[in-house]
Amino acid sequence: MSDTTGLPMAVPAEGLPPRVRIHEVGPRDGLQNEKGAVPTEVKAEFIRRLAGAGLTTVEATSFVHPKWVPQLADAEQLFPQVRDLAGVHLPVLVPNERGLDRALALGARRVAVFASATESFAKANLNRTVDEALAMFAPVVARAKATGTGADQVHVRGYLSMCFGDPWEGPVPIPQVVRVCRALLDLGCDELSLGDTIGVATPGHVRALLTALNDQGVPTDRVGVHFHDTYGQALANTLAALQHGVTTVDASAGGLGGCPYAKSATGNLATEDLVWMLHGLGIETGVDLGRLTATSAWMADRLGRPSPSRTVRALSHQEP
């Protein structure tokens, strides 16, 4: 049997963007959920391999207090090992001004804050109300944007969790999500990432939120999508977002990760499954799927369990 199934056949569809930027979150969003400690050297090698596979945005780590995310307590040691990788953006999470200081001192040029669309998750994740969290981020974003000029100006991403459903509150009203999105942009965020933290969204809901954002003056080119595969919906939702014009899609190599504070939040969209669809649609990503799959298989070996990505399993012949 020849290995002719290793790459999808490219058959473009109408109305889709010619190119998509994948925002790879595996080293941060994936590894922050690992129970065992992953050695700093392994993390650095993971990031180098992801960059070598053609990913141009690789979220590297988080400058939250180690008490909250001990898995990423080595941010200070890790970041200098990868910050000089050519041609790769390495955003890092910063929860507050202290985190921003640490990140900037190490030379980070892309940072991300993380807000919640719901009060319940803001309380659980940040121990603040939604508006208190926004107030905390205001000086972070302002100071980040005041750092550097021109192409060297620090870029700020605003994550928004629970954009579709919330485990305590149920379905999240679209106007509530739009309000926080607007607030994050008004603070100065360059782009948003709409998170379906518990994976409940479906394609019509995705289109409805994107349309509502447009109606309130948020252009699609400032919006990324971040889907979880908890109910198997992530790739269908991504297709709906692409059909709306979204060109930034978050994914996690090998499908690593989830959210440690939301029990039912399992399974980031696997970057390989995303790349399979995008390349099948003739959409450029710059990613070498074979190298990416090999990287995730390598990481799965380091973690001692098979990748949850179906594409990684199929291409590397791992049994589920």
- By annotation, the residues acting in catalysis are 259
Q: Which of 251, 270, 287, 297 binds a second copy (CB under 8 A)?
A: 270
| Shortest distance, position 281 Cβ to a second copy, whole Å | 5
DSSP three-state, residue 239: helix
Report the residue number, 87 or 320, with the smaller CB distance to a second copy: 320
Report the residue number, 159 or 164, with the smaller CB distance to a second copy: 164
Pair 88, 57: CB distance under 8 Å: yes
Q: Which of 193, 266, 307, 316 binds a second copy (CB under 8 A)?
A: 266
Report the residue number, 129 or 211, with the smaller CB distance to a second copy: 211
Say how far apart CA 258 and CA 250 lie, in whole Å. 12
Q: Which of residues 33-72 bind a second copy (CB under 8 A)?
A: none
Max alpha carbon distance in the chain (Å)? 60
Residue-wise burial string across 255-283, b where 16 or more C-beta atoms lie within 10 A, e elsewhere = bbbbbeebeebbbbbbbbbbbbbbbebeb
Report the residue number, 191 or 229, with the smaller CB distance to a second copy: 229
Q: Is residue 121 involved in binding a second copy (CB under 8 A)?
A: no
* Partners of 93 in beta bridges: 62, 112
CA nearest neighbour of 220 among 238, 254, 257, 247? 247
Q: Which of residues 156-185 bind a second copy (CB under 8 A)?
A: 164-171
| Shortest distance, position 53 Cβ to a second copy, whole Å | 17
Helix (H), strand (E) at residue 249: strand 248-251
Binding site for a second copy (CB under 8 A): 1-2, 4-5, 8-13, 16, 164-171, 198-205, 207-208, 229-233, 235-236, 238-240, 263-264, 266-267, 270, 273, 276-277, 279-282, 308-311, 313-314, 320
